[in-house]
Amino acid sequence: MARNVDKSSVPAVTVPRLALYLRKLRELKAQGTARISSQHLAELIDLNPAQIRKDFSYFGEFGTRGVGYEVQRLEEEIAKCLGLWRSWSVIILGAGKLGRALVQYRGFAEYQFNVVGVFDNSEHVIGANYGAGRVRSVAELEEFCAQQPVDIAMITVPAAVAEETIDKAVAAGVRAVLNFAPVKVHVPADVVIRQVDLSSELMFLSFYLDRERE
Amino acid sequence: MARNVDKSSVPAVTVPRLALYLRKLRELKAQGTARISSQHLAELIDLNPAQIRKDFSYFGEFGTRGVGYEVQRLEEEIAKCLGLWRSWSVIILGAGKLGRALVQYRGFAEYQFNVVGVFDNSEHVIGANYGAGRVRSVAELEEFCAQQPVDIAMITVPAAVAEETIDKAVAAGVRAVLNFAPVKVHVPADVVIRQVDLSSELMFLSFYLDRERE
DNA sequence: GCGTGTGAACACCTTCACAGCT
DNA sequence: AGCTGTGAAGGTGTTCACACGC
């Protein structure tokens, strides 16, 4: 059983790996695989088996010595570790092309992340429906969050207004932010923020593409 | 002047930070700031000043002791380090909502990443124009790449066909891949691949949101 | 005097190697 | 005998602290 864990003692790099394990375990379950060893799982996702066992060990003892892990059980435990024992409600701030693409992204619902609202400042899109109800004005944000709990805000507004938009979300009670705008924003310590920076990803590639020039 | 660098000796974590520096330096340049110290830059992007100086030191000596860095010069040097002394051509494989959103993303062109083609397998979108010419069939990929050099492929196809799509891109000569499909794909050693996993980012947030449950 | 550039100290993460349980 | 769980070793990245040059 998953023991109680002080999450600050879990290396931050472990968390995305847990997501990786979870996805692969669901795949294995769908294929009807009942048991798996860290060795075998490691081969499937190209990692060191000790890494996998260590990652699990932050949360409890999920396996059986001499045997391995039961896929079903392990999948459930890891989902729990990631906070997926419940669903989370998500809003999208910015109904531009990216925001609209994310509203309908199927990968979110698979893990019980539900997009419950979309907000924008532009008259051109307010009122339109791209998949999670009509687009609301950002001015309605506070009231909306008061009426129903919102856990996560995805920020897809232009960089110039990202900071103020995030501030509004935090003021409205949102405690987690996924920021697609290419600006680093300061938030209170009890708010989790994560940056997704697409041009920076391309620069990562151009850095290594350009290596032979030296 | 930037010295010749063996890029494999540069920590991988340094690279996204270079992108961060570059963006901030452009901002400073636009504001008319001529000079900056590592101390001041560190405050602006919330990092340790020694970290910044160490990152630069992998590539050369860009500053003046007792003085600091000339913004213009530093910006140019870092752009060069990231391979941005030239432009790079990008194709998008998968003209679904995400792919279509990326075609028109302004952040790419800012750094001379040019989307030169969009490909899909579905009759519903082939022929439509979302911003980088008409959508072509994936079957035309090989021929397209033979006619003009393609540096980077962004993969926005469904997970189930991501692997074969990436294989096709690599076979056609693409040497860098930004994969938005939630599957880890094996590529030859001389191909750079980078994963952007949106549901995994949300799980990162739910992990920390759920911390107080313990 | 001041801020860079960098070896050395430190902290963090990964991997090894084996004790312990089945 | 086999595979997990984990202390200890090893490696990588960060921060300190100071020598060096303006």
Do A25 and A95 belong to one domain?
no
Do A96 and A128 belong to one domain?
yes
Residues with CB under 7 A from strand D: A 36-39, 49-50, 53-54, 56-57, 61-69; B 11-14, 47-48, 50-51, 53-54, 64-67
Tell me which residue of B147, B153, B125, B146 sits closest to B137, measured CA to CA.
Answer: B125
Residue A209 has pLDDT above 70, yes or no: yes
Task: Decide if B41 is inside a domain.
Answer: yes
Q: What is the pLDDT of residue A211?
A: 75
CB atoms near residue A49 (< 10 Å):
14
Tell me which residue of B83, B86, B61, B67 sits closest to B1, measured CA to CA.
Answer: B61
Residue B214 has pLDDT above 50, yes or no: no
Interface test with chain A among B84, B208, B212, B214, by most A beta carbons within 10 Å = B208
Measure CA B169 to chain center. Answer: 17
pTM, two decimals, is 0.95
Tell me which residue of B63, B96, B97 sits closest to B78, measured CA to CA.
Answer: B63
How large a percentage of chain B has pLDDT more than 70? 98
| DSSP H or E segment with residue A48 | none
DSSP string, A111-146: TTEEEEEEEES-TTTTT-BSSSSBPEEGGGHHHHHH
Task: Decide if B205 is inside a domain.
Answer: no
| B55, B17 contact by CB (below 8 A) | yes
Residue B209 has pLDDT above 90, yes or no: yes
Q: Which of A81, A97, A128 is the last residue of a domain?
A: A81
Q: What is the pLDDT of residue A78?
A: 98
Do B65 and B168 belong to one domain?
no
The angle subtended at Cα A179 by Cα A174 and Cα A185, nearest 5°, is: 85
Task: Decide if B214 is inside a domain.
Answer: no
How large a percentage of chain A has pLDDT more than 70? 98
Q: What is the pLDDT of residue B212?
A: 61
Do A37 and A140 belong to one domain?
no
Task: Decide if B1 is inside a domain.
Answer: no
Which residues on neighbouring strands pair with residue B193, listed in sequence order?
B177
Do A160 and A96 belong to one domain?
yes
How large a percentage of chain B has pLDDT more than 90? 93
Q: What is the pLDDT of residue B27?
A: 97
B112: domain CATH number is 3.40.50.720
How far apart are the C-alpha atoms of B93 and A32, rounded to whole Å?
32
Do A143 and A64 belong to one domain?
no
Residue B149 has pLDDT above 50, yes or no: yes
Which residues on neighbouring strands pair with residue B134, listed in sequence order?
B129
Residue B138 has pLDDT above 90, yes or no: yes
CB atoms near residue B51 (< 10 Å):
14
Do B41 and B63 belong to one domain?
yes
Q: pLDDT-derived band of residue B21, with 50, 70 and 90 as boundaries? A: very high
Number of domains, chain B: 2
Do B20 and B77 belong to one domain?
yes
Residue B213 has pLDDT above 60, yes or no: no
Tell me the average pLDDT across A177-199. 95
Q: Which of A51, A81, A111 is the last residue of a domain?
A: A81
Tell me the average pLDDT across A167-196. 96
- Kindly report the nearest CA distance between residue A128 and chain B, in angstroms: 17
Tell me which residue of B211, A192, A143 sits closest to A179, measured CA to CA.
Answer: A192
Do A100 and A72 belong to one domain?
no
Task: Decide if A2 is inside a domain.
Answer: no
Q: What is the pLDDT of residue A75?
A: 98
Amino acid at B43: E
Task: Decide if A164 is inside a domain.
Answer: yes
Residue A4 has pLDDT above 90, yes or no: no
How far apart are the C-alpha atoms of A31 and A14, rounded to whole Å?
26
How far apart are the C-alpha atoms of B25 and B75, rounded to whole Å?
6
Q: What is the pLDDT of residue A96?
A: 96
Cβ contacts of residue B95 below 8 Å, gap of 6+? B118, B119, B120, B122, B125, B128, B130, B135, B156
Write out the residue range of the structural domain in which residue B148 sits.
88-200
Q: pLDDT-derived band of residue A153, with 50, 70 and 90 as boundaries? A: very high
Residue A184 has pLDDT above 80, yes or no: yes
Amino acid at B112: Q
Q: What is the pLDDT of residue A213?
A: 52
CB atoms near residue A16 (< 10 Å):
15
Amino acid at B163: E
Tell me the average pLDDT across B167-175. 97
| B80, B25 contact by CB (below 8 A) | no
Do A94 and A173 belong to one domain?
yes
Tell me which residue of B43, B142, B45, B56 sits closest to B93, measured CA to CA.
Answer: B142
Q: pLDDT-derived band of residue A214, with 50, 70 and 90 as boundaries? A: very low
Measure Cα distances from B159 to A28, A99, B180 in Å: 15, 20, 9
Please indicate whether, in this complex, the C-beta atoms of B23 and A182 are within 8 angstroms of each other. yes
**Is the C-beta atom of B5 closer than 7 angstroms to strand C?**
no
Tell me the average pLDDT across B163-169. 98
CB contacts of B206 in chain A (<8 Å) are 82-84, 88, 113, 151-152, 176
- For B198, the token pair is 């949106």
How far apart are the C-alpha atoms of A130 and A8, rounded to whole Å?
38
Cβ contacts of residue B26 below 8 Å, gap of 6+? B75
Q: What is the pLDDT of residue A199?
A: 97
Beta strands A88-93 and B192-195, pairing class = unpaired
Task: Decide if A208 is inside a domain.
Answer: no
A67: domain CATH number is 1.10.10.10
Amino acid at B91: I
Q: Which of A81, A108, A124 is the last residue of a domain?
A: A81
Please indicate whether, in this complex, the C-beta atoms of A198 and B108 are within 8 angstroms of each other. yes
Q: Which chain B residue's Cα is nearest to A90?
A: B202
Q: What is the pLDDT of residue A104?
A: 93
Q: What is the pLDDT of residue B1?
A: 63
Q: Which residue is nearest to nucleotide C15 (CA to C1')?
A: A50
| A158, A181 contact by CB (below 8 A) | yes
- For chain A, the average pLDDT equals 95
Do A95 and A186 belong to one domain?
yes
Task: Decide if B121 is inside a domain.
Answer: yes
Task: Note the CA–C1' distance, B50 to D14, in angstroms.
Answer: 9
Do A17 and A67 belong to one domain?
yes
**Is the C-beta atom of A189 closer than 7 angstroms to strand C?**
no
- For B40, the token pair is 């001041």
